[in-house]
């Protein structure tokens, strides 16, 4: 058995039960994992439908160009469909989108135009306006406009909705999905409610988007609009595909809660999914915790794959920079000293001590490094491995003073330096660190001390 083209593999994605993240929640929580589509997102479904409907209506002819304002996933779907059907693609993207998404689109042959994020949609620089303008100027071009093109909703009515109904054998009671263009939630909801009007649909929105307030008050409140980071959901416009009568309730999820939940899905469920998947699961579980009953079955759509966010939510430095990951509290040099009850453990040798004598001290004390002093000053250091090598070369050295073979003194650190800093300073050239406490007493910190502190 084989497929005639990559686009024939779109759809029929698996429905998978959550087993850990939903702990303490009644009912069954299932996720529909859309990254199993060939373009790794739910948008493959609408891409084909929009193009095929346009072909039927004569809106695009052979050799034409597809132009779309897309957050990346729709572009990927359109690019795959364009390859199968022989069209060119130009996509406009907002510059908040991840570099990976842009690179992927270019990899599948599309031309990508990056536009500023923080301008209103009607601004001529916005990615909506640039896409429209290109459509007006390029002959035989088709602008699918996933926001207002109802083929988007129809694609989900024809495929995603029936798949969910069949996969749950009609037992679904709640459906949850992130709302961007609205196609997913509107199409699936319409199909499911026709099958069973009791099925409850939950839209997941972001802070910074207009949907929730519009649903609850009928007011398009511009004060709700502010820049946010989650990609693919929430809007500052009302797309025609968001059919509010088909959505029973909205919950809003923050960028941070979504990012942390996406990472949990990867670690705890093995679902390496995109950022907005975190939004959908976080929002849906928040609702489920309050409202779901034992026999209820909730289905949540997970729109895309984690690879597109490797430079963002799956990058620990990025997460820390955005305040999404707690910076780990490390022990300090002072904490390490505290565990020694204030006693100074510092054993030193004078620079005039004979090497043979210094070896005896190392052995008797069971230590492998020792600071070398001259009066009050730290003038050098000695390590057992260095002494061993030198004596192997020249056994006579044992009658010489340590100053003949000593290395540079151990580095002083502050009592406030944390374990991560301390460990970066200890290496093969600097076997130990020195720290002066409030009473001016000098202590030594070795690799062994750092390991002990890590294990506490």
Ligand X SMILES: Cc1ncc(COP(=O)(O)O)c(C=O)c1O
Least distance to ligand X, CB of residue 87, Å: 21
Residue 28 vs 181, nearer CB to ligand X: 181
Asked whether position 233 contacts ligand X by CB under 6 A, the answer is yes
Cβ-proximal residues to 7 (8 Å cutoff; 6+ apart), any chain: 38, 44, 48, 80, 81, 84
x/- string (CB under 6 A) for ligand X, residues 88-127? ----------------------------------------
Structure tokens at 291: 């409202």
DSSP secondary structure code for residue 117 in this structure: S
276 belongs to the binding site for ligand X (CB under 6 A): yes
The angle at the Cα of 142, spanning 141 to 144, to the nearest 5 degrees, equals 155
- 202 contacts ligand X (rule: CB under 6 A): no
Minimum distance of ligand X from residue 149's CB (angstroms): 11
Q: Of these, 232, 234, 283, 380, which contacts ligand X (CB under 6 A)? A: 232
The verdict on 258 binding ligand X (CB under 6 A) reads: no
Nearer to ligand X, 64 or 183 (CB): 183
Residues 6+ apart with CB under 8 A from 299: 15, 30, 31, 32, 164, 168, 172, 174, 175, 176
Smallest gap, in angstroms, from Cβ of residue 432 to ligand X? 51
Residue nearest to ligand X according to CB distances in the complex: 232
How many residues sit close enough to ligand X to count as binding (CB under 6 A)? 17
Catalytic center residues: 43
Name the one range near ligand X by CB under 6 A: 97-105, 175-183, 252-260, 367-375.
Answer: 175-183
Distance CA 415, CA 128 (A): 56
The DSSP bridge pattern shows strands 377-383 and 111-115 to be unpaired
In the complex, least distance from residue 101 CB atom to ligand X, rounded to whole angstroms: 9
Specify the stretch interacting with ligand X by CB under 6 A; choose among 134-142, 172-180, 377-385, 417-425: 172-180
The closest alpha carbon to 202, from 194, 210, 211, belongs to: 211
Give 132 or 398: the residue with its C-beta nearer to ligand X: 132
- Residue 228 C-beta-side C-alpha neighbours within 13 Å: 27
Minimum distance from CB of 180 to ligand X (Å)? 3
Q: Which residue, 180 or 283, is less far from ligand X as judged by CB? A: 180
Does residue 383 sit in helix, strand or coil? strand
Q: Which is nearer to ligand X, 276 or 369 (CB)?
A: 276
Measured torsion, CA atoms of residues 93, 94, 99, 101, in degrees rounded to the nearest 10: -40
| 184, 189, 201, 332: which one binds ligand X (CB under 6 A) | 184
What is the smallest separation between the CB atom of 277 and ligand X, expressed in angstroms?
7
For the CA atoms of 41, 81, 189, 177, what is the dihedral angle to 10 degrees?
20
Chosen residue from 69, 183, 208, 306 binding ligand X by CB under 6 A: 183
Please, which residue, 10 or 419, has the CB nearer to ligand X?
Answer: 10
Q: How far apart are CA 116 and CA 119, in angstroms?
A: 7
Q: Which of residues 42-71 bind ligand X (CB under 6 A)?
A: 71
Write the CA distances from 150 to 158, 187, 200, integer angstroms. 12, 9, 22
Q: Which stretch binds ligand X (CB under 6 A): 57-65, 182-190, 212-220, 421-429?
A: 182-190
Q: How far is the CB of 6 from ligand X (least distance, A)?
A: 19
Longest dimension (CA), the chain: 99
Phi and psi torsions of 373, nearest 5°? -120, 160
Residue 345, Cα to own-chain centre: how many angstroms? 46
Residue 145 within binding range of ligand X, rule CB under 6 A:
no
Minimum distance of ligand X from residue 51's CB (angstroms): 17
Our CB check for ligand X shows the closer of 64 and 180 to be 180
Contact between 190 and ligand X per CB under 6 A = no
Q: Which two tokens stand for residue 316?
A: 């620990």
Q: Please tell me the number of Cα atoms within 13 Å of 244 on its side-chain side.
A: 15
Specify the residue, 28 or 276, whose C-beta has the smaller distance to ligand X: 276
Instruction: Answer yes or no whether residue 203 interacts with ligand X by CB under 6 A.
Output: no
- The answer to whether 144 contacts ligand X (rule: CB under 6 A) is no
Sequence-distant (≥ 6) Cβ neighbours of residue 321 within 8 angstroms: none
List the one residue out of 230, 233, 235, 196 whose CA is nearest residue 213.
Answer: 235
When asked if residue 179 is in the footprint of ligand X (CB under 6 A), the reply is: yes
Binders in 280-319 for ligand X, by CB under 6 A: 303-304
Q: Which residues bind ligand X (CB under 6 A)?
A: 71, 73, 178-185, 231-233, 274, 276, 303-304
């Amino acid at each position: 058995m084989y497929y005639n083209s990559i686009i024939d593999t779109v759809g029929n994605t698996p429905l998978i039960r959550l087993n850990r993240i939903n702990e303490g929640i009644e009912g069954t929580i299932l996720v529909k994992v859309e990254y199993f589509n060939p373009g790794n997102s739910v948008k493959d479904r609408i891409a084909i439908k929009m193009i095929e409907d346009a072909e039927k209506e004569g809106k695009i002819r052979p050799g034409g160009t597809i132009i779309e304002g897309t957050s990346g996933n729709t572009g990927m779907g359109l690019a795959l469909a364009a390859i199968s059907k022989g069209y060119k693609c130009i996509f406009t993207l907002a510059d908040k989108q991840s570099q990976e998404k842009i690179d992927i689109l270019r990899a599948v042959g599309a031309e990508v135009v990056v536009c500023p994020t923080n301008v209103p949609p009607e601004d001529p620089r916005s990615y909506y306006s640039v896409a429209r303008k290109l459509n007006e100027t390029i002959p035989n071009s088709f602008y699918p406009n996933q926001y207002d093109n109802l083929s988007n909703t129809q694609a989900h009515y024809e495929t995603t909705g029936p798949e969910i109904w069949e996969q749950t054998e009609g037992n679904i009671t709640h459906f949850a999905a992130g709302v961007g263009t609205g196609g997913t939630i509107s199409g699936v909801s319409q199909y499911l409610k026709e099958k069973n009007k009791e099925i409850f649909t939950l839209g997941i929105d972001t802070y910074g988007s207009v949907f929730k307030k519009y649903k609850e008050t009928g007011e398009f409140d511009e004060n709700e609009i502010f820049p946010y980071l989650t990609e693919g959901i929430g809007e500052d416009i009302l797309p025609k595909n968001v059919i509010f009568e088909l959505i029973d309730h909205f919950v809003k999820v923050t960028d941070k809660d979504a990012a942390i939940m996406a990472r949990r899905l990867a670690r705890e469920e093995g679902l390496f999914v995109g950022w907005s998947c975190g939004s959908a699961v976080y929002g849906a579980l928040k609702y489920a915790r309050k409202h779901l009953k034992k026999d209820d079955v909730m289905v949540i759509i997970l729109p895309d794959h984690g690879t597109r966010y490797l430079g963002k939510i799956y990058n620990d430095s990025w997460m820390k920079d955005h305040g999404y990951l707690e910076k780990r509290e490390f022990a300090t040099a002072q904490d390490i000293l505290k565990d020694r009850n204030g006693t100074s453990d510092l054993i030193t040798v004078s620079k005039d001590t004979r090497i043979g004598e210094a070896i005896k001290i190392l052995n008797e004390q069971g230590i492998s490094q020792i600071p070398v002093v001259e009066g009050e000053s730290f003038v050098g250091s000695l390590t057992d491995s260095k002494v061993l090598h030198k004596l192997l070369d020249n056994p006579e050295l044992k009658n010489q003073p340590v100053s003949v073979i000593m290395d540079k003194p151990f580095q002083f650190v502050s009592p406030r330096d944390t374990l991560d800093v301390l460990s970066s300073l200890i290496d093969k050239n600097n076997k130990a660190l020195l720290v002066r406490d409030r009473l001016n007493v000098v202590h030594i910190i070795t690799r062994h001390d750092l390991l002990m502190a890590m294990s506490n």
